[in-house]
Amino acid sequence: MRVRTMKVIILGCGRVGAQLAALLDGDGHQVTVLDRDSYSFRRLSPNFNGTALLGHGIRQDVLKRAGIEEADVFVAVTEGDNRNVMAAQIAKHIFNVPKVICRIYDPIRQELYQTLGLETICPTTVFAQLLREKVEG
Amino acid sequence: MYMIVVGGGRVGYYLTKALLDEGHEVLVIEKEAAICENICDELGSIALRGDGCEAATLAEAGTGRADMLIAVTGDDEDNLVACQVAKHKFNVPRTIARIRNPQNEALFNKLGIDVAVSSTNIILENIEEEVPTHPLTHLLTLRDKGLEIVEVKIPPESITIGKSVRELSLPEESKLVLIISKMGRPRMPTAQAILQAGDQIIALTTPETEEALRTALRGA
């Protein structure tokens, strides 16, 4: 099955960001990875066809340069919950990106922003749940 | 009133001091132990060590009964989140955030922060006022009304000198309030008032018509 090609911006080129970039790039999507530290781009594979862009993801001019006005999806996976939350809200409320996903480590903040309409994932809760299943299963 | 200040840096410290002097109950939330200690030594035990973006810390600070939360850390994203958590989790009636990047002002307002104060803009405006050749100076912004009060100086070579106010094609959304002559004498901007070199004109305008107003008063 052929998936529709999407323009995806990934904020944060950490382990998760880089791996997601590789997966989506492999699926044929147009991927731009944004990070404020160029050293993070070492995590991208040499075969990565997308764009790596240096800059702060909570700055609207930087996001514009990354092509946020035409983006179909925006994913915020930097190390900072607040940075992710702010970037995701810029993407959703200023640039009207159709799909915005945001990582929030703090379960309480995750719950709050989920009720405020952001699509959020809390790795803390997900991983604890996984571990629980391992322990009890 | 009970006010919570998030961030005990220089801005937070002097703000807290001023609010205490006015007789308010103030609590500062600050991550760094050394800064907390310093505040407690100098202003009394009013500092709580913790992350002002975390609901647990805000609960401990009694945010539920706070009248106002003011976030003045050095990071815009932290100030945004502190205000949003205070507003949506603890129903704080008024939240104020400091912003470093002026681009963020519209975003913060859109996201329900009651007041976003841009320190960068304030400094820029103050410097603008001190630059004598600056064609248009912002004196005051009336936030909720979408209006601002500006000052326009009439330079010696301006083509509008000798014209009356009636002859100027002023934009509809703006209104002249006062003309101050080079000698410091104020006069009313009636339709017959004549513009002179060195006049300072105080006017009310919308940000959108600011440019048209400047052109109408000084010539292109």
How many domains is chain B built from?
2
What is the pLDDT, as a whole number, of residue B120? 79
Together in a domain, B117 and B134: no
- The DSSP H or E segment spanning B71 is strand B68-71
Give the domain CATH number at B64. 3.40.50.720
pLDDT (tens digit, 9 = 90+) per residue, B81-93? 999 999 999 999 9
Share of chain B above pLDDT 90, in %: 66
The CATH number of domain A7-136, selected from 3.10.20.30, 3.40.50.720, 3.40.462.40, 3.40.190.10:
3.40.50.720
- The DSSP H or E segment spanning B69 is strand B68-71
Among the listed residues A58, A119, A97, A116, the one whose alpha carbon sits nearest the alpha carbon of residue B84? A116
User: At residue B150, does pLDDT exceed 60?
Assistant: yes
Among residues B90, B121, B152, which one ends one of the domains?
A: B121
Q: Is residue B16 within 8 Å of B39, Cβ to Cβ?
A: yes
Write out B159-170 in H/E/C secondary structure: CCCCCEHHHCCC
Mean pLDDT value across residues B162-167:
92
The answer to whether the Cβ–Cβ distance between B107 and A115 falls below 8 Å is: no
Write out chain B residues lying below 8 Å of A81, CB-based. 53, 81
Among residues B70, B93, B121, which one ends one of the domains?
A: B121
Together in a domain, B173 and B97: no
User: At residue B5, does pLDDT exceed 90?
Assistant: yes
Contacts with B35 (C-beta within 8 Å, 6 or more apart), sequence order: B8, B9, B47
The answer to whether the Cβ–Cβ distance between B77 and A80 falls below 8 Å is: yes
The nearest CA of chain B is from the CA of A136 a distance in Å of 29
The nearest CA of chain B is from the CA of A25 a distance in Å of 29
Among the listed residues B152, B196, B157, the one whose alpha carbon sits nearest the alpha carbon of residue B177? B152
Q: Is residue A86 within 8 Å of A68, Cβ to Cβ?
A: no
Among the listed residues A59, A63, A53, A47, the one whose alpha carbon sits nearest the alpha carbon of residue A13? A53
pLDDT tens, N- to C-terminus, chain A (137 residues): 556 899 999 999 999 999 999 999 999 999 999 999 999 999 999 999 999 999 999 999 999 999 999 999 999 999 999 999 999 999 999 999 999 999 999 999 999 999 999 999 999 999 999 999 999 98
User: At residue B34, does pLDDT exceed 90?
Assistant: yes
User: At residue B20, does pLDDT exceed 70?
Assistant: yes
Together in a domain, B21 and B98: yes
Together in a domain, B13 and B109: yes
What is the pLDDT, as a whole number, of residue B134? 66
Write out chain B residues lying below 8 Å of A115, CB-based. 88
Give the domain CATH number at B145. 3.30.70.1450
What is the pLDDT, as a whole number, of residue B78? 96
User: At residue B206, does pLDDT exceed 60?
Assistant: yes
DSSP string, A20-86: HHHHHHHTT-EEEEEES-GGGGGGS-TT--SEEEES-TT-HHHHHHTTGGG-SEEEE--S-HHHHHH
Q: Which residue has the tokens 């009133």?
A: B1
Among residues B121, B148, B179, which one ends one of the domains?
A: B121
Q: Residue B195 belongs to what domain range?
A: 129-218
The answer to whether the Cβ–Cβ distance between A82 and B101 falls below 8 Å is: no
Full-model pTM: 0.78
